[in-house]
Structure 1
Amino acid sequence: MAKISTICWLAFGAALALGTPSVHAQPAGNAPIKIGELNSYARQAAFTVPYRNGWQLALDEINAKGGVLGRKIEIVSREDGATTGDATRVAEELVTREGAVLLFGSFLSNVGVAMADFANQKKIVYIAAEPLTDAITMAQGNRYTFRIRPNNTMQVGMLVDQAKASGAKRWAIVAPNYEYGQSAAEVFKRLIKERVPGAEVVAEQYPALGKIEAGATVSALEQAKPDGIFNVLFGPDLTQFVREGNTRGLFEDKTVLSLLTGEPEWLLPLKDEVPEGWIVTGYPWDEITDPKHKAFVDAYRAKFKDTPRLGSLLGYMVLYMIRDTIERAGSTDTDALIKALTDAKFDTVIGPVSMRGIDHQATMGAWVGKLALKGATGGMTDWKYFDGTSFMPTEAEVKAVRKD
């Protein structure tokens, strides 16, 4: 009798094991598929609010067409406080309390690194939408973490290529003193010396994020007498730096490479103080003529009565890529999602984008051009879209730093 009971319990346990879904998979049926999203909506609203508008537009479109796998998508969105501690706490709540099958979002790079570590520990897919530090897909990269935007190596590489013909040799760096700024500065120092013979970095300034003392920063750069400046500042720090630099003539007769400054989020607040001639990465949304992109712009403007930002485009793209991933996976099982994302090809509103398998870095590119004053505000001129594929870290570079 004991033997029969043991056999029955073993059979029952085996049946349970076979019937139990994998980690983070939601029960099938008509219940919505829950996806967790977190971001710095309070402290970085200039980028994150348009980004939220973008994924909300995509969500409405997807659900109006029946969702995915016959189920609607539900996004449970939370504020991450722009700190690593708050972000991981919120992420834990999204997974354990809300039952999210995957996570996406975050803005600041240090938060993105913390989220990558969280994903690895909790074995849940995390898609980094905005953070740019190389660490997310390089040194801190892992099986569960994927990134959409071109990383620092890719975007800085695009800018450095544009600087070759300038003749500038003496370079100064100004960057916010946290993960993103430090990462971008290190990439620039490496690439400028590799690609521009004789180039040297003669000054480096790292003001605290959101707390720049523009006068002191500009003065320090002036004293170094550079003929080129690499700028990584954004938001209010950028506005103050530009205003002080314009007043003191810092940018005259200098080549300026500026990461992200052509994005409407950071360009619009400059108004008529736009420093013309800066070589920037950005988003000239109003001049992109591709029909798919134009349809996105028209839908966004109709819904929100506003023009899109780079964040808007990114939020829209990310959710459609998530939709496509779940559809290909055929379920919300974590292993199936990872398999569906790895080396996947996506047809996006800016063209084909692939997710490279060796580092989970997408091939999304960036628009590179020069700043110009257009009426009362600034815009980009002489711009070109650079596909990210040619600027990605090499396979050898990836293998040298990744631990997985």
Structure 2
Amino acid sequence: MTARTFAAARLAAATLALAAGSAGAQDTLKIGEINSYKALPQNLVPYKQGWLLAQDEINAAGGLLGRKMETVFRDDNANPGDAVRVADELITREKVEVISGVTLSHVGLALTDFARQRKVFFLASGPLSDKVVWDNGNRYTYRLRSGTYALAASVVPEAAKLNKKRWALIYPNYEYGQAAIAAFKENLKKAQPDVEFVAEQAPPLGKLDAGAVVQAIADAKPDAIFNVLFGSDLTKLAREGKTRGLFEGREVVSLLTGEPEYLDPLKDDAPAGWIVTGYPYANIDTPEHKAFLAAYEKKYSDYPRLNSVVGYSAAKALAAGIQKAGSTDTEKLIAAFKGLQFGSPFGPVTFRPQDNQSTLGIYVGRTAVKDGKGVMPSGTYVDGSKLQPSDEQIRKLRANAS
């Protein structure tokens, strides 16, 4: 082979490789997924598994717009600045067409602002801060999971039925905890005007001095306790409170505690009889959830956590929105998600046009200890559409949304 022929052959091979790569890129629709995988593995391993299960189902059904759905997962290091940097890299280098994800509220707020500045579509799957869709909301950002206000509102009817007058409050001292307490106070006061809040303990997130907090609550002699702590703080509170008898003869209402992510680490120290929000996965008797549970257990040989549902539902929501839009163009996606309906393991879900919030609901029930393990054996599902402030309040909160 002459040098000229060899060079021509190499050029032809390179051209074919480039063409093949270009064709491969066109056959794939890339989603950028950003989350705190290293910081919150107990939440985000199940989340990613749920997402990938949905992606498998979407691709088996033909993909998105005739292309295979591919997700590029990136870690935000639980840091808003890192999340924004990663989002920019996903768009400019990885050429993703949509951004999704986030569990931590402060990271969610950073990416909400990034979406507004860069004019890119962002589906926030899990941040609980309502500022994501209300005070700091914008037309580019939608949220899947119900937020702090809805969580607090979901347990108020059960709290009011207890008819307890003196309440103590325990919450992490940052935006999520403060907002949850404000919403609980507001809604319980409406339901039970004579209620009194006799003690508040607000330790820094992740830095609970359990002995001091339990003693301060006991000294206030409340009739009932409303708790918003989660993760390692919840574990410390439950164990110290059990040791000191804080919960004996007292009702406890607690957000998030019924999620397997938080009950599992407690083992037989898990509290029994608390009114909680959570996920009674073994006893949800609907066709949608039965199908999800069977598929999840078959794929992973494990039971799902609440974040498995969130990850699965986020991927399904994006697929439904992209198919409805017939495109990943930002403006077309914004229009498609207004009032978008899609199926989830919890049944039909709609994205509300007035605030870009989905109606994915919340299970409320009581905890129990079974076979040395904390469980939420049953629960009542409350549709997210029934847990929001009035449309007039929403309009005021979103007055500056753009």
For normalisation by structure 1, the TM-score amounts to: 0.90
Please report how far the alpha carbon of residue 40 of structure 1 lies from its aligned counterpart in structure 2 after TM superposition. Answer: 0.7
1:195 aligned partner = 191
Rounded Cα–Cα distance in structure 2 between residues aligned with 1:248 and 1:57: 44
For normalisation by structure 2, the TM-score amounts to: 0.91
Give secondary structure in 1 for the equivalent of 2:277: strand
1:103 aligned partner = 99
Rounded Cα–Cα distance in structure 2 between residues aligned with 1:297 and 1:381: 16
Residue 338 (structure 2) pairs with residue 312 (structure 1): no
> Which consecutive unaligned segments of at least 5 residues does structure 2 have?
1-21
Give secondary structure in 1 for the equivalent of 2:367: strand
Rounded Cα–Cα distance in structure 2 between residues aligned with 1:203 and 1:86: 38
1:281 aligned partner = 277
Q: 2:163 aligns with which of 160, 167, 174?
A: 167
Q: CA deviation digits over 1:67-117, x for unaligned, max 9?
A: 111001111110011111111111111122222222111111111111111
Give secondary structure in 2 for the equivalent of 1:292: helix
Matched residue type, 2:302: D
Contact kept? 2:283, 2:377, Cα under 8 Å: no
Q: 1:293 aligns with which of 283, 289, 306?
A: 289
Q: 1:222 aligns with which of 197, 206, 218?
A: 218
Rounded Cα–Cα distance in structure 2 between residues aligned with 1:293 and 1:356: 23
> Which consecutive unaligned segments of at least 5 residues does structure 1 have?
1-25
Contact kept? 1:110, 1:180, Cα under 8 Å: no
Residue 36 (structure 2) pairs with residue 40 (structure 1): yes
Please report how far the alpha carbon of residue 382 of structure 1 lies from its aligned counterpart in structure 2 after TM superposition. Answer: 5.0
Q: Which moved more, 1:287-296 or 1:234-243?
A: 287-296
Rounded Cα–Cα distance in structure 2 between residues aligned with 1:73 and 1:192: 45
Contact kept? 2:364, 2:379, Cα under 8 Å: yes
Matched residue type, 2:317: M
Q: CA deviation digits over 1:340-365, x for unaligned, max 9?
A: 10111112222111100010011111
Matched residue type, 2:121: V
Contact kept? 1:112, 1:128, Cα under 8 Å: yes
Please report how far the alpha carbon of residue 263 of structure 1 lies from its aligned counterpart in structure 2 after TM superposition. Answer: 0.6
Q: CA deviation digits over 1:48-85, x for unaligned, max 9?
A: 11001100111122122221110011111100111111
2:354 aligned partner = 358
**Cα gap change, 1:127 to 1:304, in 2 (>3 Å):** same
Residue 376 (structure 2) pairs with residue 380 (structure 1): yes
1:91 aligned partner = 87
Give the alignment's Cα RMSD to 1 decimal: 1.7
Please report how far the alpha carbon of residue 124 of structure 1 lies from its aligned counterpart in structure 2 after TM superposition. Answer: 1.0
Please report how far the alpha carbon of residue 27 of structure 1 lies from its aligned counterpart in structure 2 after TM superposition. Answer: 11
Matched residue type, 1:139: D
2:230 aligned partner = 234
Please report how far the alpha carbon of residue 28 of structure 1 lies from its aligned counterpart in structure 2 after TM superposition. Answer: 12
Contact kept? 1:173, 1:230, Cα under 8 Å: yes
Rounded Cα–Cα distance in structure 1 between residues aligned with 2:85 and 2:216: 40
1:393 aligned partner = 389
Matched residues, number? 379
Matched residue type, 1:48: L
Q: 1:126 aligns with which of 122, 125, 138?
A: 122
Rounded Cα–Cα distance in structure 2 between residues aligned with 1:346 and 1:111: 26
Matched residue type, 2:95: G
Contact kept? 1:164, 1:195, Cα under 8 Å: yes
Q: 1:179 aligns with which of 175, 178, 184?
A: 175
Q: CA deviation digits over 1:250-281, x for unaligned, max 9?
A: 11222211001101100111111121111001
- Give the % identical residues: 49
Matched residue type, 1:367: Y
Residue 146 (structure 2) pairs with residue 146 (structure 1): no
Q: CA deviation digits over 1:316-345, x for unaligned, max 9?
A: 111011011100000110000011101111
